[in-house]
Structure 1
């Protein structure tokens, strides 16, 4: 247990880099593949729920964020957040360059360019919303998680994961959809999707609580780490753990 000790070098951990890779992968895929598609599903007693398809997978990144903060501490989660932010920035740049390139003058590539524009044409705005919302929401989530762990002396993990997610996802959902789709969707649709997104993401955290417990317990045992952010510098602009 590392309650007051200085942070261990990241290279001493067996699984930290795998958790980081999983975090970044989930974030990129959920933002690029499903963010712009709005779907509807009928729910018993509740009626029809309207939400972004990406919500089915994006909350997994918050679960990984909770795991990183709980096991390795805020500082190491901060490095992962910045790595993911850099990946989103590069994806935005890459999409802009590819769309700007003139397609080959044959029917297939001309038609293909139209489809690319339809799918990724709004990518800069979506990715701008994703980066701002992700950065703010993830740091709020990690900060609340770390502080609650110290306040609760490591007890009630379920309360900390759900509580931190409720705070982080509120910021994330509100910022992302306003930045990415305001003026594109109607105000009613925008509010409906934001509310549904927030409730579904929070619900995901609750449903996945047993999984979070298993992964946290496994990592704490294998890494011999259970970090408490007692003397942590919570400046989000630092890169060092």
Structure 2
């Protein structure tokens, strides 16, 4: 008699990785509306960079805080569960992002309690309803840009990952991880900002679009490289959790997927 699904360590592993992946993806989309200044956040003087004619502090979307974690999750799932695993969690995450924004808009449309609207005035927020609507509404252009970039980036990532894997076999885990991220995030970093802020109502100039997109891409790639040791650590931990034989079988099945 076969083991029950929830007694199978590989099934539990996939559920855990998928849940963590989806949670990070949804959170990254929700907080991505904020653009933060790196030097001001670190409490240092602006570097007065000049990129495509834009000067000042280095600016990033807040979603970049979580995307490096999503990259590690993607590469780990790719390694052990193959294309079907990554595609499944990517579409699941996209559905959950839509679900989250749907209920965010539902919450915005609820009539606010009169006392609640001014409840944060002392903290500098005279209209709590307006602030809530701006932060959680984000606008259809931002949502559309985020979803298109996310799905396209994930599908490209899994394709490049397995192309490199076929060429290198089980060697050079770091190469297929960073190589797939380099290609997918080049598209993701530019597409989301182009749709959200250039096509959208804000109508960013080309120079600002190129500057912010390039900085976000550089940030993501820097973290993708910095997190390579974490990727190997997770691979080692998963192998210990599943057992060497089961882990090797999963990787072989994923490679043949």
For 1:3, the equivalent position in structure 2 comes to none
Match of 1:144 in 2: 160
Q: Distance in 2 between matches of 1:10 and 1:67?
A: 21
Kindly indicate whether the alpha-carbon contact (under 8 Å) linking 1:150 and 1:228 is maintained by their aligned counterparts in 2. Answer: no
Work out the CA distance in 2 between the residues paired with 1:74 and 1:219: 18
1:179 aligns with 2:198: no
Cα distance in structure 1, aligned partners of 2:95 and 2:25: 12
Which residues of structure 1 form unaligned runs of 5+?
1-8, 233-241
2:229 to 200, 210, 214: 210
Pair 1:63-2:72 in alignment: yes
Task: State the partner residue of 1:86.
Answer: 95
Task: Quote the residue 1:112 is aligned against.
Answer: 128
Q: Which residue of 170, 177, 180 corresponds with 1:161?
A: 177
Mark the runs of 5 or more structure 2 residues left unpaired by the alignment.
Answer: 50-56, 119-126
Structure 2 CA distance for aligned equivalents of residues 59 and 194 of structure 1:
16
| TM-score, normalised relative to structure 1 | 0.84
| Alignment correspondent of 2:36 | 39
SS class of match (1:51): strand
Q: Is the 8 A contact 1:73 1:229 kept in 2?
A: yes
In structure 2, do the counterparts of structure 1 residues 46 and 103 end up closer, same or farther at CA, with 3 Å as the change threshold?
Answer: closer
Instruction: Tell me the distance in 2 between the aligned counterparts of 1:170 and 1:50.
Output: 17
Alpha-carbon offset, residue 229 of structure 1: 4.6
Contact 1:132/1:176 (<8 A) preserved: yes
Does the CA-based 8 Å contact 1:137-1:171 persist in structure 2? yes
- Tell me by how many angstroms 1:82 deviates: 1.3
Q: Highest CA radius of gyration, 1 or 2?
A: 2
Pair 1:159–1:94, CA change in 2 (3 A): same
Report deviation, 1:217: 2.2
Q: Aligned to 1:154, what secondary structure does the other structure show?
A: coil
TM-score, structure 2 normalization: 0.79
Residue 227 (str. 1) matches residue 236 (str. 2): no
SS in 2 for 1:39: strand
Against the structure 1 CA distance between its residues 154 and 231, is the aligned structure 2 distance closer, same or farther, given a 3 Å change threshold? closer
When residues 148 and 178 of structure 1 are mapped into structure 2, their CA distance, relative to the original with a 3 A threshold, is same
**Structure 1 residue 125, shift from structure 2 partner:** 2.5
RMSD, aligned CA: 2.3
Of 47-56 and 73-82, more deviation after overlay is shown by 47-56
Gap change, CA 1:10 and 1:214, over 3 Å in 2:
farther
Q: CA deviation at 1:99?
A: 1.5
Partner of 1:24: 22
Cα distance, 1:165 vs structure 2: 0.2
